[in-house]
Amino acid sequence: MMTSSDQLQKKEESCVVKKTSIGGMALIEGIMMIGPKKYAVVVRKPDGGMEVSVKPMPKKTVWTKIPVVRGGYNLIRQMVLGIKSLMFSADFVDIEEDIEEEPSKFEKFLEDKLGDKAKDAAIYFAVFLSVCLSVGLFILLPNLLTGFLGIKSNVLNNIIEGVLRITIFFAYIILATKLEDIQRVWKYHGAEHKTINCYEAGLEITVENARKMSTHNPRCGTSFLFIVMIVSILLFSLVGWHSRLLNMAVRIALIPLVAGLSYELLRLAGKYDNLLTRIVSAPGMFLQRFTTDEPDDSMLEVAITAFNKVKTDGDEDKW
């Protein structure tokens, strides 16, 4: 039986007049929006005002145009922008709350060795740690746990590894929703989607119009992460089952291909509306029930401000 939220989502999808490539990321009391030419970070200040930062997007290279290859490249590029935006929002909140912390030994080391480039180095190091954590938790751990079972069947090993990977992923998302700060991030995530859905429906982008929109969107990063899970299961099942070290080495080597194929599938699912693309989008749309929440009007104002800073007058943002 279709719920009222499902009916609203279906109604909104049927009235989409333009699918946009503009996307965003929920931050600490704020939102980052990425457009064709600029990206904007808007943070809600403790006094109720908004802090706005708008910067040009990094120049596109040949790597952003090659199918499959562009998936991994764009993923890393957006992670860098995401870390920069998170640091901006976190630093701003710390300043507003008059919290002064001594630099860590690692931060002092970077400043001594790299000087003005220390902040950039810290950002890329944070991206590196994020990738390592994701690979370790969602790629290597399921394989390692399956290997300990000592099962001889290649087919059964791959099935168990896939089930463990999805289980760990869902557990991670559900546990994250229990954190109070993350719950506010999910609300900003919902505000981001409502704003984009409002624009794609051809409505004037106002708080009143955005409030009526769904918190779900098929081109969300959450959908991308779930597609990565599925693609990795299918791809890893084709390379067989080997020794523990060889299994982990093969999976690490295939990560760029997994990311690239997942990116292309997300592009297709976002561009077309048919039975196949709905099937591809369905798990990610379901998962957004956990990673988005209904925002308040102040959060919608932040999302709308960020969106308006990056949107263009022409079709440059067309998906």
Q: What is the pLDDT of residue 113?
A: 53
69-96 vs 244-271: helix axis angle to the nearest 10?
90
Q: What is the pLDDT of residue 95?
A: 45
Q: Two tokens at 136?
A: 């370790």
The SS3 of residue 50 is: strand
**Is 194:12 a contact under the CB 8 Å cutoff?**
no
Indicate the residue type of 315.
D
Q: Two tokens at 75?
A: 């993923």
Q: 180: Cβ–Cβ under 8 A, 6 or more apart, which residues?
A: none
Q: What is the pLDDT of residue 96?
A: 43
Q: What is the pLDDT of residue 13?
A: 46
> One digit per residue, pLDDT tens: the chain, 319 residues?
444 444 444 444 445 678 898 998 999 899 999 999 999 999 998 888 999 999 999 888 888 888 888 888 888 888 888 888 888 887 766 544 444 555 555 555 556 655 656 666 767 777 788 888 888 999 999 999 999 998 888 889 999 999 999 999 989 888 888 888 889 999 999 999 999 999 999 999 999 999 999 999 988 888 888 888 889 999 998 988 888 899 999 999 999 999 999 988 888 877 777 888 888 888 888 889 999 999 999 999 999 999 999 998 877 888 7
CA distances from 70 to 66, 110, 113, 182 (A): 5, 31, 33, 30
Q: Tell me the β-bridge partners of 55.
A: 39
Q: What is the pLDDT of residue 52?
A: 94
**Which residue reads 């030419």 in tokens?**
37
Q: What is the pLDDT of residue 80?
A: 86
